[in-house]
């Protein structure tokens, strides 16, 4: 793409007539504001939890005097040493073993097939949906 085409595309996208430097400065400031807002939100949530309490696991709702309803949900995160769990789970009845075997798409493998072996990718393509994800912008000093 030549320089004139790049300028025309940039002008079309840059309807605010700001420079790229101004836009990146605004992006950095917006991300800082977002971080501050997130920290403030977490701080307020912690205060609400201190006032109303929470269950270790499960939801608890509270009706407030102003008509709002606050629901506090406690959660536990479970992780396992899968090698050890598989050995220990042999002592359990088969229908009580808490281990899942879930088929999951190997995105790296699919990307490789699509780029390098389109003949093989074509055979599985009807089962795969490919759509654009959010494009990210990173600014570094």
Does residue 105 form part of some domain?
A: no
Span 59-75, average pLDDT = 95
Span 82-97, average pLDDT = 95
- Asked if residue 125 has pLDDT above 80, the reply is yes
- Asked if residue 4 has pLDDT above 60, the reply is no
Domain that holds residue 69: 3-77
> What total number of domains does the chain contain?
1
Q: What does pLDDT average to over the chain?
A: 90
On whether the pTM is more than 0.85, the answer is: no
Whole-number Cα distances in Å, 53 to 46, 49, 61 = 10, 5, 11
Does residue 123 form part of some domain?
A: no
Does residue 133 form part of some domain?
A: no
């Amino acid at each position: 793409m030549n320089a004139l085409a790049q300028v025309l595309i940039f002008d079309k996208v840059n309807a605010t007539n700001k420079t790229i430097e101004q836009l990146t400065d605004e992006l950095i400031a917006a991300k800082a504001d977002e971080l501050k807002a997130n920290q403030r939100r977490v701080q307020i949530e912690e205060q609400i939890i201190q006032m109303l309490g929470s269950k270790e696991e499960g939801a608890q709702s509270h009706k407030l005097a102003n008509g709002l309803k606050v629901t506090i949900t406690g959660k536990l995160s479970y992780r396992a040493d899968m090698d050890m769990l598989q050995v220990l789970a042999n002592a359990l009845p088969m229908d009580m073993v808490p281990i899942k075997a879930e088929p999951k798409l190997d995105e790296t493998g699919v990307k490789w097939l699509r780029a390098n072996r389109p003949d093989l990718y074509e055979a599985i393509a009807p089962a795969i949906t490919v759509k654009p994800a959010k494009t990210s912008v990173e600014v570094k000093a």
